[in-house]
Amino acid sequence: MKNSRRDFLTKAGATAALSAMPLINYGSEYVNAIDTTSKLSAPKDLKITDVKCGYIRGGHSLFVKIYSNQDIVGHGEGVDATPGTYHLVKIFGDRLKGKSPLNVNRLFEDLRRRGFFEGAQAGMYIAVLTAIETALWDLAGKALGLPVYQLLGGKFRDKIRVYMDTALYQNRLPTPADFAASAKEAVDMGFTAVKFDLDQANDPNKYDHYNWTASPAEVQRMYDQMAAAREAVGPNIDLCADMHGKYDTTSGERVAKVLEPLNMMWLEEPIPAENVEAYKKITESTSTPICAGENHYLAHGFRPLLEAGAVDAIMPDLQKAGGLGEGQRIANLANLYYVPFAPHMVASYLGAMASCHVCASVPNFMILEWQIYFHKDPKFKEIVSYDGPMVENGFITLSEKPGIGVEINEEGMRKYADKNVPFFK
């Protein structure tokens, strides 16, 4: 059709040139309009043709591509609960082939329901489903020419505030002076919120490596470190601390209490994820806000926390909790309880921007996690393709490109790929 139209218009334009120059211009513009108009088939004809994946970080970061019959490719990411899941990705791919990627929620529910007896309540099954679901949103956005936040119902904000996770890991035995310097560095980089890890397996003051009760000296060490950070940055910077679920309820209560004078943004996961009643006990014992959710899956996993009033803020990991649509459902559920939504994020910039689309789409967004490795490790710039700066003055600018706005760079990722797993095959 395009060629026949071009021939017709070209001939018509040549004939008209003998008598009327404006007709040439009109014909040329019409030809250009045809050439620049999308020639993709109707959305109803869009079909999934294949699903491929690659892994980095020892399999703890999964990257998925979903291919279509219109050469549109969707990109997604899953983290943490992903080692050894290559064949699960392929199983999901087989279940998706031939279906329209535009029915994102339906495909998510089809895969989830089919896995009721395969582990579709949490863990690896949901982490892989998360990567798949994210790639479906990316593909759908590209097919329809819309950013993902628009598909999720629009946006409340254009920029997403992030806090800097300093990665000042306790296994290196950092001092209070190290905490102060790291906090100051983050603020000098433009961040208005900073997070530190407090759990320290090799703390010389620990009495027993299997008992989760913190000794008085451990509690004092935690306070001294956070107090140094507070003194370094002043009262107007948000500080939060992570205990990685490594302690018991008694220790959680003691640490939360001793940190109260420091006006913390939150104390994160002082105990493991499973016991809602224990979380509620800690939360009710202190004015330090308690945050959890990194190790909860699906909206089902957050319902008990919210119904019990067990936490002050929730932090689902949108690269393993179920995906972007499920992340929005979790946020909206929390909003019914007036609980802020502050997603955990240990992914690449693809995962960060995917999370931003959800954060933009809900009213109760508080803050998103950001990692120092984006600034220190060149790998995280090489493995993705994106426009503009990643972050400026503690905010990520929401992408307006169709889909997520960040894509996997296979060639950049190849040298970091897990050598024991097929790479996008």
Which CATH number covers residue 134?
A: 3.30.390.10
Segment holding 164, helix H or strand E: strand 159-165
Burial 403-423 (b: 16+ CB within 10 A, else e): bbbbbbbbebbeeebbeebeb
Co-location of 117 and 191 in the same domain = no
Co-location of 117 and 248 in the same domain = no
| Tokens of residue 266, six digits | 């939150």
273-312 pLDDT tens trace: 999 999 999 999 999 999 999 999 999 999 999 999 999 9
Least confident span in 24-33, 110-119, 226-235, 250-259? 24-33
353-383 pLDDT tens trace: 999 999 999 999 999 999 999 999 999 999 9
Q: What is the average pLDDT across 237-250? A: 97
- The average confidence (pLDDT) of the chain is 92
Q: Is residue 13's pLDDT more than 70?
A: no
pLDDT for residue 40: 53
pTM of the model: 0.89
Total domain count, the chain = 3
308-328 pLDDT tens trace: 999 999 999 999 999 999 999
Domain boundary among the residues 145, 169, 189 is at 145
pLDDT for residue 167: 85
Q: Is residue 49's pLDDT more than 70?
A: yes
Co-location of 198 and 309 in the same domain = yes
Q: Residues of the chain with pLDDT > 70: what percent?
A: 90
| Tokens of residue 298, six digits | 């699906």
Side chain identity, residue 87: H
For residue 26, the enclosing domain spans 2-36
Q: What is the average pLDDT across 48-66? A: 98
Co-location of 156 and 51 in the same domain = no
Compute the radius of gyration of the chain from its Cα atoms. Answer: 25
Co-location of 219 and 72 in the same domain = no
30-45 pLDDT tens trace: 445 445 545 455 677 9
Co-location of 104 and 178 in the same domain = no
Q: Is residue 2's pLDDT more than 50?
A: no
Q: CB-based burial of residue 91 (10 Å sphere; 0-12 exposed, 13-18 middle, 19+ buried)?
A: middle
Q: Residues of the chain with pLDDT > 90: what percent?
A: 85
